[in-house]
Chain A
Amino acid sequence: MKQSLFENRHKAEWERFALALERLERGKDTSRVADFPKAYRRLCQHLALAQERGYSSFLIDSLQQQVLRGHQQMYRHRSRLGANLLGFVLAGFPRVVRQEWRFVLAAGLLFFGSLIGFGMLVFLFPELVYNLIPADQVREMQGMYDPVAGHLGRSADRAASEDWVMFGYYIMHNIGIAFQTFASGLLLGVGSGFFLFYNGLIIGAVAGHLSEIGFGQTFWSFVIGHGAFELTAIALAGAAGLKLGWALIAPGRLTRGEALRLAARQSVLLVCGVMLFLLIAAFIEAYWSSRTSITPLTKYLVGAGLWLAVALYLLFAGRTGHAPE
């Protein structure tokens, strides 16, 4: 068949397809596109025919363009965000955490190990803190958690109306750190390892120092509540990063690129969970931890409850086969 005959015969069909395509791309009025898949496959057949019969480049190129646009509408990844989110929170996230327990364990040991280790060291050898943190920052920290100051948090003259400011600040700051910890795992895991260790070191040194000089009560009662979510989230972000790095170091029977892609798909789920945790943490930090009217004992009890809840959630949520879908 000659090209002009071919074009004349199918012209009307192609124009109809172009119209349906535009409607789909604009995403409105998708009621009249029921026969889109059929029309798309017809178009694919026409393209194959045109190529096989050596028709002109213009015809083939324009058919190819239409097929590409059709392909993008036909095979787009649709996600029902609402339903997925609930399933992810109730079952998906803790499952992923348990599935990746090796990385979670490694990241947890690195982070909490350096945190506790340096905390003990600074508590036993108080001068050490000045080797780890610059002196003026240490003084700033002391100002924040001084028991005689009425307020807690990042600044000494903190008022309740500033809760909003701190909420925004915590989100910006903490999720930023978590993202960095995750992303730098791509450098063969070294970056994640470094950030886990370094953050553990700083937090540990501050905790040890403040306990040692007698500000322990204000400090621990402040951090215990949101710490359950915040510290766990940092460790999990590090675990996701280590998974990326490990895929590059030991890809197994896959190519490195393929292994990295698979690992990344899994670890992005961890990162989504981490964001959720940090949102909760920022909320608790801004609206609960900073309250000075609540007795430390209540804060300790609630904090311990939160730690227990996080542990139970990560260990046991979604274990049943018929987890909420």
Chain B
Amino acid sequence: MHYETDRGPVKAVDGVSFTVNRGERFGMVGESGCGKSTIAMTILQLLRDPARIVTGRILFDGVDLLRLSERDLRRLRWRSISLVPQGAMNALNPVARVRDQIGDAIVVHDSEVSPRLLSERIVDLLSAVGLPERTAELFPHELSGGMKQRVCIAMAIALNPRLIIADEPTSALDVVVQRVVAQTLSEAVERLGASLILIGHDMGLQAQLVDRLVVMYAGRVAEIGSVREIFKAPTHPYTQMLIASLPSLRERRRLRTIPGLPPALLDAPPGCLFHPRCRHAGQVCSRVVPELRSVNGSAHVAACHLFEEIAGR
């Protein structure tokens, strides 16, 4: 996915491939600007100019979403793939009751539903996200941040989708509220038997919630592995530094920092995009773009020329 600009294309997402299995909770992490949210918008094809999908395929149950008509896409969005967008709770309509907001999300995609069934469905959805029935009659300003975010989750699961994409669903919430909302989301996904793509930069939250995750760097995949592989045996130097920069509660130590900044994508360096910040970088790193390679023949993959050597050091 490129953004066309006067100064040439910005490769916001460049050659990214990953698979999300049925019923799996899949995390997507990386610094701001690494392409996480862009991937979500690409899957749903909610991109606007100057964004352009250049090549690739997005297979959902074997169907390439990039070849569907806008009409078919519209049927698929929300019914099959739903989104909890970033800052969703601030996007609730301030002058509509919770009942009507959830109701609209259902009616737009399923106009046949009877008013009585709709009412029952709304109450069911609210209880699925742990909100009392009376919440339906309230306006967004009468809800706390955690309650608003749960309403957004209720809307996302309203049509029993098979995939839910949640973009930073708990940012700007207090730690206890964050925990409640995260667990609500996780349980809702499990009850539906749906898959989840959890986008966020909070590594702690990912460790708590997902089964597998992809680490993105500057629009490319750095590493994909199970949550244990990524946290216990990070292989790409970027993932290693990211893990080392996290504060722990076990020991007090100076946090490792990652020197330098992510590259400007208009003026990206040749070879591995991380090499200017990597302390292991060798000559090959500044010349050749690394492919994703398997770590020890497993499904754990990393895009680094030197990971065997680094592990041996």
Pairing of A with B: no
Report which B residues bind A (CB closer than 8 A): none
